Structure 1
Amino acid sequence: MLTRRALLLLAASLLPILRSHGEDVIPISDMRAAYLYNFVVFTEWPDNGRDTLNICLLPGQATLVNVRLLASKQINGRTLRIIEPMQRDTDECQLLYIGKATDSGTRQMLTRLAGSPVLIVGEGSQSQAMIQMNVENKRLSFNVDLVQSRRANLTISSKLLRLAKTVRKEDDGT
């Protein structure tokens, strides 16, 4: 499919470390890292005056993302930093990757974050995620919820939206 091919090319150009290592298939953890990187590149946050962009991973989620590919990258003059927030304190996060976490602590944290300028990325059917990644046939795709991202005062580039499988643009009451 054209959109998957385009995203793969974009990810490969932005993360030269992402090589197939002699294989035809890029590991899903590498692809997640590339997607998270691109989500940061193609999202605008309100100015917070910081010189870092923080990707936060919930405890235990670091094995799902190849964080080595993300550490210390520069985006628009800001250093990308990977952190695991202590006791789910997300004050330092610009992007929060929640994977498939569905425990009550995660749900409470997401409720607390509603309207905050934190790009929430989940996997599967995370109802409060602004971007939902899905693994289908060893391939990664994503859906974007513009309604929730607008509520959080985040702007997602049309370049990224064109690559999404689906984009929710209007509030349907859910």
Structure 2
Amino acid sequence: MNRLLIALLLATSAFYQPALHAQSAQASLKAALLYRFVQYSEWSVNPPAQQVYCVAGDIEVFNALTAMLPEQAKTVLLKNADQATECTVLFLSLELASQAGWSPLLQPSGRLTVVEGAELFRQGAMFGLIAEPQRISFRVNLTLARQNGFHLSAQMLKLAKEIH
């Protein structure tokens, strides 16, 4: 009986592992994009002494970002919008688009904003991640970024799917 149970558990985990791997790979890609957006952006007004990366709505992106950043970098997993006061970089997941209270964080504040999905992007984010089959692309609201005092690298803008 124990052998049958172990065999069943192994077969089940092998069945679900590719889906878990794809999900974690996607989270790692989102975290890497977030990190690169910061590296290729300049705060022209009041640059922060230390970046505070805040992630809301996606624990996997938070974990991937925390693992990727140097030890001295600060990451915060936001449970509610009121916790975002110290954030210099903000990532909002697709699930938060329909929840009240998160979109005001996209208003001009001196923080770099990255979101998933078109709805939050239209509400005032600087970067929008677009999930496509086998990849993630991004769009940039260059006008908004400039209005908020950011200078974005030309190399990064070349890679954007859309620039507004």
Flag whether TM exceeds 0.5 (same fold).
Answer: yes
Cα distance in 1 for partners of 2:145, 2:155 equals 16
Question: In structure 1, what is the Cα distance between the partners aligned to 2:51 and 2:61?
Answer: 20
Distance in structure 1 (CA, Å) of the matches to 2:112 and 2:87: 8
Q: In structure 1, what is the equivalent of residue 46 of structure 2? A: 47
Displacement of 1:88 in angstroms is 1.9
Corresponding residue for 1:15? none
For this pair of structures, how many residues does the alignment match?
A: 136
Counterparts of 1:143 and 1:98, CA distance in 2: 15
How far residue 163 of structure 1 moved from its aligned partner, in angstroms, is 0.7
User: 1:2-21 to 2 correspondence within 5 Å?
Assistant: none
**CA–CA distance in 2 between the matches of 1:27 and 1:86?**
23
SS at match of 2:86: coil
* Contact 2:92-2:114 within 8 A present in 1 as well: yes
Determine the structure 2 residue equivalent to 1:120.
Answer: 113
Q: Which runs of 5+ in 2 are unaligned?
A: 1-20
Paired position in structure 2 for 1:63: 60
Aligned pair 1:92/2:86, yes or no? Answer: yes
Counterpart position of 1:146: 142
Larger radius of gyration: 2
SS, match of residue 101 in structure 2: helix
**Are residue 107 (structure 1) and residue 103 (structure 2) matched?**
yes
**Alpha-carbon contact 2:52-2:86 (below 8 Å) kept:** yes
| Deviation of the 1:48 alpha carbon | 4.2
User: Could you report, residue by residue, the CA deviation over 1:2-59 in whole angstroms, capped at 9, with x for unpaired residues?
Assistant: xxxxxxxxxxxxxxxxxxxxx99x8111111110110010011133452x2111112x
TM-superposed CA distance for 1:167, in Å, is 0.8
Give 3-state SS (helix, strand or coil) of 1:31's partner. helix
1:70–1:80 contact (8 Å) kept in structure 2: no
> Kindly tell me: are residues 72 and 148 of structure 1, through their superposed partners in 2, closer, same or farther at Cα, counting changes over 3 Å?
same
Deviations 1:78-130 (A, max 9, x none): x43211246424221111001211111112333xxx22111110111121211
- RMSD across aligned C-alpha pairs, in angstroms? 2.4
Aligned-partner SS, 2:85: coil
- Identify, as 1 or 2, the structure richer in helix: 2
Secondary structure of 1:27 counterpart: helix
